[in-house]
Copies of this chain bind each other. A is one copy, B any other.
Amino acid sequence: MSSSWVSDIAPDSPFSLANIPFGIISTPADPAPRAGIAIGSQVLDLKVLSSHPKFSQIFPSLKGHEGIFSEPTLNAFAALGRPVHREVRKVIQDLLSAETSHPEILKDDAEFRGKALTPQRGVKMHLPMSIGDYTDFYAGYHHAYAVGVMFRGPQNALQPNYTHLPVGYHGRASSIVVSGTPIQRPHGQILLDPAAEPKQPVVAPCRRLDFELELGCLLARPNSMGVPIGIAEAEDHIFGYVLLNDWSARDVQSWEYVPLGPFNSKNFASTVSPWVVLADALEPFRTKPIENPTPVQGYLKEGREDTVFDIELEVELETPQGDSTTICTTSSKHLLWSFPQMIAHHSLGGCPLRTGDLLGSGTISGPAAGQRGSLLEMSEGGKKDVLLYGMDARRFLKDGDAVTLRGACGPPGGRVGFGECVGRIRGAVNL
């Protein structure tokens, strides 16, 4: 990867020339949400770029779609398919590179460049896609095992189906918000003493509010209802990836989740990072997943071994006093199932997956202490303190806490990452 003429790209910026992530932006000067890409600490406004007289010439694959970057979501762009995303990303990399073949467009045109490039700090980020359906899987083996022990004991921690199919459930699309949106502590039915009989819930603000560190996958091409997506084609249905915080009300969850699964414990909010890292940008970071001891069915067999990505993930907790502690450092490789396997399984019965659908990986925890992707695991079910800077400690989240997920991979100067996925807890409303 050559270097960029764009100034101020820090070596550790997740938005190097090797990345080119897409998002939906607005600015005080133009409050209409539209597409942009992140480069260093700047944003390239793709609506402005689309207005350049040479736009159609340098982006031939967007012929007939000149307004696509003026739309308020990335859905139409995603639906064009991976060959188009690949070409568009390459052309943008060329435009921003020091040895660009088109210096007249941006590099040498100070006036146009000034309109097209804006500092990120002045840009408002929006939900990148219109998400029709959201499915949360459970592919983080270490998380599934640890939580299974807490909810059902070590004998039944993992159900017999766990290594045969990517377990997942339908989530709530309406409460997916973009990074930065405040997260209100939910009320719910909870058992103050889960062991007491008869079981008598109260209605109260959640006392065991948690985060879940997940990787999210956004879909490009749809499949027709009734037509499963073969695992060999599944990659072609992927648009890109985001970080996902699947906020969870653990006390609500343990009371409500039998027999039909999590409901109000999950549907009050889920936060995604604003920049969609295209599938192609993560290709160099492939690695092997957790080995599955069980031989899988043919529709889940992949033609390669490096089916997941080794993205360095971390979780930072900031207290209301402003003290920040990195409470988790792990990798997105700690999955038993890959996203192509999730897609093949999800569509096996003919379920139509649509452009913009979000698939969550499930909470990603590593095998060691310090690699746990939820407070439930770190506090061992709320029994141990998680120590924080500022002489503080947590078992679950307090009002005013902010949780920031980060994820990036690659060498200095060539980092590919998501930026931040952040949410701060706001006190419960009065009912």
Binding site for B on A (CB under 8 A): 132-133, 138, 148, 151-152, 159-161, 164-165, 167-175, 177, 184, 186-189, 198-199, 201-203, 206, 225-228, 249, 252, 255-265, 267-269, 297-299, 345-346, 348-354, 357, 429, 431
Contacts and interface: CB of A to CB of B under 8 A. Distances in A.
11 contacts: A132-B132, A133-B173, A159-B258, A170-B170, A170-B263, A174-B354, A187-B350, A189-B348, A206-B349, A228-B429, A267-B349
A346 to B, nearest CB: 7
B133 A345 contact: no
Interface centre among A171, A265, A268 (most CB of B within 10 A): A268
B261 A259 contact: yes
Contacts of A357: 174
Contacts of A187: 228, 348-350
A186 B173 CA distance: 24
Nearest to A268: B349
A29 B119 CA distance: 54
A133 B174 contact: yes
Q: Give the secondary structure class of A's interface.
A: loop
Given A186-B349, A348-B203, A351-B268, A169 B263 contact: yes
Contacts of A261: 169, 257, 259-262
A347 to B, nearest CB: 9
Contacts of A177: 225
B348 A169 contact: no
Q: Which 5 A-B pairs have the closest CB atoms?
A: A261-B261, A186-B349, A169-B260, A268-B349, A170-B170
Contacts of A262: 260-261
B349 A259 contact: no
A288 B189 CA distance: 25
A250 to B, nearest CB: 13
Contacts of A258: 159, 161
A189 to B, nearest CB: 5
A198 B257 CA distance: 26
A239 B164 CA distance: 42
A138 B351 contact: no
Question: Which of A138, A201, A348, A354 has the most B CB atoms < 10 Å from its CB?
Answer: A348
B263 A203 contact: no
Contact of A201 (B203, B256, B297): B297
A259 B256 contact: no
A173 B174 contact: no
- Among A170, A175, A352, A357, max chain B CB count under 10 A is at A170
Given A174-B351, A260-B262, A264-B349, A164 B189 contact: yes
A205 to B, nearest CB: 10
B175 A298 contact: no
B256 A161 contact: yes
Contacts of A352: 174-175
Contacts of A203: 297-299, 348
Contacts of A173: 132-133, 173
B189 A350 contact: no
Contacts of A165: 189, 201, 256
B201 A164 contact: yes
Given A188-B349, A269-B225, A350-B186, A263 B198 contact: no
Contact of A226 (B167, B184, B354): B184
Nearest to A169: B260
Contact of A170 (B169, B184, B257, B299): B169
Contacts of A257: 259-261
A259 B255 CA distance: 13
